[in-house]
Amino acid sequence: MFAGTGSDVGKSIIATAFCRIFRQDGYTPAPFKAQNMALNSFATPDGREIGRAQAVQAEAAGIPCHTDMNPLLLKPQSDHTSQVVLNGKPIGNRDAYDYFRKEGREELREAVHAAYDRLAARHNPIVMEGAGSLAEINLRDSDLVNVPMAMHAGADIILVGDIDRGGVFASVYGSVMLLRPEERKYVKGILINKFRGDLRLFEEGRRMLEELCGIPVLGVVPYYHDIHIEEEDSVALAAKSAAAQRGKINVAVVLLRHISNFTDFNVLEQDPRVHLFYSNNVEELAKADILILPGSKSTLDDLYEIRRNGVAQAILRARREGATVLGICGGYQMMGQQIRDPHHVEGTIEAMPGLGLLPMVTEMLPEKVTRQVHFTLADSPDSQPMEGYEIHMGETCPTSDNPVSPLNLLEDGQMDGCFVDAKCMGSYIHGILDNPAFIDRLLEPHSAKLTKTASAFDYHAFKETQYDRLADHVRKYVNVPLLYDILKGKR
């Protein structure tokens, strides 16, 4: 188990690295995180939902993702409530206070233990990930994901500390000392992450940490800038904003308050033909050739917000002036004539007018759709097959009996999305932009802007290279043989 001294210390990335390292070394690893809190989720092959981080780790391990890798997912809906997804299916919304009370926790504990046991019967080793801090002592009795989970699994804990944020000695030593004696014996190693500068400057610090804690420091991993692994949290998106660039197609993703599945845009971010940025600044949006309305965990709330802050008007103006507008999932719903919520799935607002760009009406429904899909472009059914996944609560239909052109034709004969013209369309399919054929279709109306050197992009090959580069980076700075000795009980 890679556990942390706090949130955002790099546990997910380290776990991803070791999923690839163990695979490279001939093992059959699988990731596991008992409880994850994230808006960025993924649909498994059997149509269920897990945190995106575990889907990425499974990809690094070279195996299909499964709900047993993340049996409990919390999807925040406000500052105080979250949708609770158990074994890939929603079981309701819970207030944080009610969720973390002791009552009812044993049923959840049994469920995550059962998921781990099933996974451990199929894979070895299991690369576990903790959540937040290892030493959340106020939540000790209700904790499902850190030390109690490691104790159930008999897992060796490697404590990850973030030196970049400062206070690494106090956070590592404090995390260890706040554990009970019977818990402390599971912590077998310390890993310092996000180091900047000359590693020789920390040699004395490494020795001091080992003496203080009585635990070996397995390595000090430097910060990197040139390895690209999909991120779990959206906190860094606002920094990916810049002025328009010549010789490229400028693509703006509208920065929503409740943006979800922002990894939809990782391919565009790497495509050499594209300059991608995230913004809710109307002046920056006006410089885009293509505007994308992304998915949202609170579609009506985000629709209200973009009407209030002028972004909705900026999108309509951009459409009139020749820009492309694409909506994905919640963004697709927003582009229609109206969104209705008679069942109060999202809140008290029962209806709100959409942007009016698509002749569609959406009704929010209590039942969530989660599935992987294979599809072709509706107007080119013989085109290259493509794939993606759906995660949404709602059904979107034409406003009248007049025929509407769908964007995609699914493998099972169903239709998806709406196609007005080459510059106005929407779809429920996440991952649609992972398909080179669809990106080519999206960029084609603006291809005259490209320089002659711009070319297409193979995202699958790119990701495989990045996982290997991450593994190489971690191997260089971590004592992997010592870790194997710990796992084999030799230390």
Domains of the chain, CATH where assigned:
2-229+465-487 (3.40.50.300), 248-453 (3.40.50.880)
**pLDDT tens track for 101-131:** 666 688 899 999 999 999 999 999 999 999 9
pLDDT at 136 over 60: yes
C-alpha span between 125 and 308 (Å, rounded): 51
The pLDDT of residue 452: 64
CA dist 376 and 76 (Å) reads 33
pLDDT over 80 (residue 378): yes
What is the DSSP-derived secondary structure letter of residue 25?
T
pLDDT of residue 231: 75
Confidence tier at 455 by pLDDT (50, 70, 90): low
Candidate list 66, 123, 275, 430, residue with the active-site label: 430
pLDDT at 347: 86
Residue 380: its pLDDT value, please? 85
Which pLDDT score is estimated for 454?
62
- Cis preceding-peptide flag for 436 (omega within 30 of 0): no
How sure is the predictor about 318, in pLDDT bands with cuts at 50, 70 and 90?
Answer: very high
Q: pLDDT at position 458, please?
A: 83
Residue 236's pLDDT band (cuts 50, 70, 90): low
| Structure tokens that stand for 192 in this block | 């310092």
What is the pLDDT, as a whole number, of residue 243? 58
Q: Quick one: what percent of the chain has pLDDT higher than 70?
A: 94
CB neighbour list of residue 159: distance below 8 Å, 6 or more residues apart: 3, 4, 5, 134, 172, 175, 176, 187, 189, 190, 191, 215
Annotated catalytic residue: which of 19, 65, 213, 329? 329
pLDDT of residue 465: 95
* Chain mean position to CA 195: 24
- Exposure on the CB side of residue 21, measured as CA atoms within 13 A: 22
Asked whether residue 329 carries a pLDDT value surpassing 90, the answer given is yes
The answer to whether residue 80 is catalytic is: no
317 phi/psi in degrees, rounded to 5: -65, -40
Task: Tell me what pLDDT residue 245 has.
Answer: 74
Q: List the one residue out of 162, 158, 226, 227 whose CA is nearest residue 195.
A: 162
CB atoms within 10 A of CB 486: 18
pLDDT of residue 234: 52
Answer with the residue of higher pLDDT: 128 or 450: 128
Question: pLDDT tens digits, residue range 39-58?
Answer: 889 999 999 999 999 999 99
| Stretch among 162-166, 184-188, 226-230, 292-296 having the lowest mean pLDDT | 226-230
pLDDT-based confidence at residue 239 (cuts at 50, 70, 90)? low
In this prediction, residue 300 carries a pLDDT of 95
Q: Which residue has the higher pLDDT, 140 or 212?
A: 212
Question: Residue 291: pLDDT above 70?
Answer: yes
Which of 150-154, 228-232, 296-300, 346-350 is the least confident region?
Answer: 228-232
Instruction: Kindly report whether the peptide bond that precedes residue 272 is cis, defined as omega within 30 degrees of 0.
Output: no
- Highest-scoring range by mean pLDDT, 316-330, 339-353, 438-452, 457-471: 316-330
Q: What's the pLDDT at 141? A: 85
**What pLDDT score does 3 carry?**
97
**Contact (Cβ atoms closer than 8 angstroms) between residue 22 and residue 125:** yes
Q: What is the pLDDT of residue 103?
A: 63
Q: Does residue 276 carry a pLDDT above 90? A: yes
The arithmetic mean of pLDDT across residues 453-475, rounded, is 88
343 catalytic? Reply is no
Torsion angles phi and psi, residue 176, rounded to 5: -70, -45
pLDDT band at 2 (very low <50, low <70, confident <90, very high): very high
User: Which range has the worst mean pLDDT, 72-76, 147-151, 215-219, 485-489?
Assistant: 72-76
- Res 238: pLDDT: 56
Average confidence score pLDDT of the chain: 92
* The one-letter amino acid at 351: A
pLDDT of residue 299 exceeding 80, the answer is: yes
Apex 11 CA angle, 179 and 269, nearest 5: 160
Counting Cα atoms < 13 Å in the Cβ hemisphere of 249 gives 28
